[in-house]
Structure 1
Amino acid sequence: MRHFAIVGSGPAGFYTAEALAKAYGNEARIDIIDKLPVPYGLIRFGVAPDHQSIKKVSVRYDKVADSENVRFVGNVAVGDGVSVEELCGLYDAVVMATGAPHDRKLGIPGEDLPGVLGSAAFVGWYNGHPDFADLSPPLDGGHAVVIGNGNVALDCARVLSKTEAEFEGSDIVRHALEALMQSGIRTITILGRRGPHQIAMTPKELGELGHLEAAAPQVDPADFPPEAADEALEDRGLAKSVGLLRGYAAAPVHKAKEIIFDFFARPVKIEGAGAEQKVTVERTRLDEDGRARGTGETYELPAGLVISCIGYTSPPIVGIPYDDRGGKYKNEDGVIDDGLYAVGWARRGPSGTIGTNRPDGYEVAATIEAAMPPGSAGGKTGGAGLDALLEERDILATDFSDWRRIEQAEAAAARAGSPREKIISTAEMLKLLGHA
């Protein structure tokens, strides 16, 4: 029998568990460990609440969790309640699938001001993540600045712009919806240090901005190169996205709220407090290598709220070598050390889509299979050893049946048209389960 621990229950963790279960069958026992009492990670707390079709991928993960040789172990913080070294002593292989839940720093003066949030915090707030349930984003000013040119920046801008009716069918949490409906924000500026040809935005997310009830995107036509240059974008999959931006620039629509794309612009300083907060921005140009260089020309943008969407980092954990520059665990093709592996964003950094984690998980599982082929004996205690350790430390773990009870309670509390009303407190979850 082989025993495997996967730390993190997001897409990378579930795809790795699926691959290991297929490779080993009944010869393996697989524990998916998460610090929260509930599974799904990025799917539950990162995917925008109005993108329910994407969240449905969790149905596939349900099938993995329901397998006889796979177990969900929630409410266990690896690196705190249990060390990585201890897990490696209990399991034949430990796979770090923690994702990258921490915001990358801007590295500019003023980024620690109260009105400046990372996207992990802001997205976690409106998605009901327990760590950010008490966040109170300043929404009373008229202006918001969103820094970044990827899909997360679009998600934040869209959520700030929607009407209450447009959230129907979503699972945005009640406290966030109520706050957003009282928001005074009317102008959202999306800052990008490079131009339209260098964005990391997909057509679906960009296209949604053109159908908002009360908000419309604004793009300066002068930011585009000649249209013939778009032909080179076909190989990079950007042609449709840039085409949408060109459409917004050619036929601007005026509504009560505006989403302004400010290209060739990078923040250099944030000052002030409350509605008087402002961002100093420097104009940039691209050098011959395609990198953004400052021109020295600066201007100021009012910004009662600033949301930084420039990327994420994996959490440093004692016992795992860390790549500070990449914000991930040091590894070679997913191998950190003997019996210790990394997968997903913890392996390659925050890049790719949810689906990108499937081949990544299968590749790491294949590496494990090569190192310890099916049929070979392991001799570790696995889940039984973990259970004994948790009992000794009075750590109350949750399982998948507990998650089902939480899920049912959330569905029962949902407002009309919503699939669920998330429980936003770990303590409340445990209380519901009788663990408090």
Structure 2
Amino acid sequence: MSALTPDTPMKRVAVVGAGPAGLYAAEELVRQDRHRIHVDVLDRLPAPYGLVRYGVAPDHPRIKSITGSLRRILDHPRVRFLGAVALGADVTRQDLLDHYDAVVYAAGAAADRRLEVPGEDLPGSCSATAFVSWYSGHPDAPAPLPLDTERVAVVGAGNVALDLARVLTRPVADLERTDMPEPVLDALRASAVREVVVLARRGPWHARFTPKELRELVGLDGVDLVVDPRQLVPLEGLEPDRTAQTNLRILTEAAQRAPTGAPRRVELRFCARPLRLLGTDRVTGLEIERTTERPGATITGAGERETLTVGAVVRAVGYRGAPLDTVPFDPARGVVPNDKGRVLDADGALCPGEYVTGWLKRGPSGVVGTNKLDSAETVALLLDDLDERRPRRHPDLAGVLDRRGVRPIGLEGWSRIDTAERELGATRGRERTKIADWPTLLRLGKGPHPAREEPEELPWPS
């Protein structure tokens, strides 16, 4: 039975990041009965939900439906959403340590890994991070490359690579039912792309995409999937796991199908690595090399080279975390150094009151549900530490934000954005159409300006 009473001192915890990892951490903090805790969830964006909103493919509504349960976390009376508040620009790490009993960093992995080959920075080359953010309606993401070329190369062997191939070749009529912003749909309607070549450095037995994603690509109307059956023979001495065996069966069936002459096609090429991007003012080609591998050994170049004529290259070789203000950071791994969620400094010593969860803790791995277990582990340690820490009264962060002229977007503001997107979608026969420009998001989220009307009051708990 809980020993908490209305007189139990309230403790404050800041969670930086309103994606699944951060919101699951908030849920763990307010549902436990060891401490009375109020949670402020800060995010630099006006909208919550992180990669569920800005990273899940728009034509995967089942995964995106998790926002309903995430919204219920934000609705908790001891959880407060502070959108459009950026760590490092609007508040500092020290501000958070001064105003909260504990801080949980859950800002995800917003950066991308590079190919590290010549020509990678040519116009017409971009990261999957940028491309996915654009078609998902992220306000920071302009169109990352022109779609005025017939052939595009995607480098990668995960679900994101297949998402990119599917979005670039899928009939736009299918995408018109999603929440894609209208400018994105306009660009896809005008797209000249007719072929996407997906390149994987290793064989299909090492591919990281799931059978579900692969089947979806195989079943696209108006798209031929091309696979060379000679690439599907497993390495001698290799025992593919169950997922790899399923993928190999699906790929073998696809390889046996004769091309239908569909207007668009996707080619999956395995054991091929990029050597350099070609072009002067923009990408005009990609030089690749066939690779060989042995079980348990690294891949090596086979010396057989080929130049693909492509007008764009998208790298989908993984995400990585980015530094947050002065928070300790391991640039080699792209994570905040930690011991099961407790933040460590450069010397390996604990940083009291600081914690990390999600991709910023473990790297970009797992599915959305993995973050729930991860956050539970971090919060359990946080609560143990609170047991040992003497309670102290903290001033509310509201004073700092007010003095700096920062007007956070609260839950009411996000609800206005949400309503506006649903109303915009209804005019097009869709459930939602995302709003992707900063001025409109801020205008809707912050409401009337104080100079014209009474400002909206955020519920600053006592």
TM-score, with structure 2 as normaliser: 0.89
Question: What residue number does 1:247 align with?
Answer: 253
- For the pair 1:317 / 2:330, whether they are aligned, the reply is no
Moved more, 211-220 or 66-75: 211-220
Q: Secondary structure at the match of 1:329?
A: coil
- Residue pair 1:275, 1:303 contacting (<8 A) in 2 also: no
Aligned positions of 1:37-436 closer than 5 A: 37-132=46-141, 134-226=142-234, 232-234=240-242, 237-254=243-260, 255-272=262-279, 277-336=284-343, 337-373=351-387, 378-381=391-394, 385-414=396-425, 415-432=427-444, 433-434=446-447
Instruction: Tell me the distance in 2 between the aligned counterparts of 1:129 and 1:420.
Output: 15
The CA distance in 2 between the partners of 1:435 and 1:286, in whole Å, is 62
Q: Note the C-alpha offset of 1:407.
A: 0.4
- Counterpart selection for 1:18 from 4, 24, 27: 27
SS in 1 for 2:31: helix
Residues 114 and 273 in structure 1, CA contact (< 8 A), matched pair in contact too:
no
Task: Say if 1:110 and 1:271, in contact at 8 Å, map to a contact too.
Answer: yes
Amino acid at match of 1:245: L
Q: Whose relative contact order is higher, 1 or 2, with alpha carbons under 8 Å and at least 6 apart?
A: 1
2: distance between equivalents of 1:46 and 1:226? 32
CA separation in 2, counterparts of 1:139 and 1:274?
16
Higher-Rg structure is 2
More helix per residue? 1
Deviation per residue, 1:210-267 (Å, 9 max, x gap): 2212212111111122599896422xx3322222112111224332111111110111
| TM-score (ref. length: structure 1) | 0.94
Contact map agreement 1:138 1:274 (CA 8 A) in 2:
no
CA contact (8 A) 1:280 1:298 kept: yes
What SS does structure 2 have at the residue aligned with 1:138? Answer: coil
Assess if the C-alpha contact under 8 Å between 2:122 and 2:281 holds in 1.
no
Q: CA deviation at 1:290?
A: 3.8
- SS of residue in 2 equivalent to 1:238: helix
User: Which secondary structure does the structure 2 equivalent of 1:61 belong to?
Assistant: helix
1:72 to partner: Cα distance: 0.6
Aligned-residue identity in percent: 37
Q: In the TM superposition, what is the alpha-carbon distance from 1:101 to its structure 2 partner?
A: 0.9
Equivalent-residue separation in structure 2 for 1:422 and 1:63 (angstroms): 21
The 1-side partners of 2:432 and 2:184 are apart by: 14
- Quick check: 1:209–1:216 contact (8 Å CA) kept in 2? no
* CA–CA separation in structure 2 for the residues paired with 1:290 and 1:206: 26
For the Cα contact (< 8 Å) 1:116–1:307, is it kept in 2? yes
What SS does the corresponding residue of 1:130 show, helix, strand or coil?
A: coil
User: Structure 1 residue 274: deviation in Å?
Assistant: 6.9
Question: Quick check: 2:321–2:334 contact (8 Å CA) kept in 1?
Answer: yes
Distance 1:302 1:278 in 2: 4
Classify 1:192/1:355 alpha carbon distance in 2 versus 1 (closer, same or farther; 3 Å). same
Amino acid at match of 1:258: R
Change over 3 Å in CA distance of 1:22–1:222 after alignment to 2: same
- 3-state secondary structure, aligned to 1:33: strand
Aligned residue pair count: 430
Superposition CA RMSD, Å: 1.9
| In 1: Cα distance, 2:415 partner to 2:192 partner | 38
Asked if the contact 1:145–1:303 (Cα under 8 Å) also holds between the matched residues in 2, the reply is yes
Query: Per the alignment, in what secondary structure is the counterpart of residue 339 of structure 2?
Result: coil
- Secondary structure of 1:354 counterpart: coil
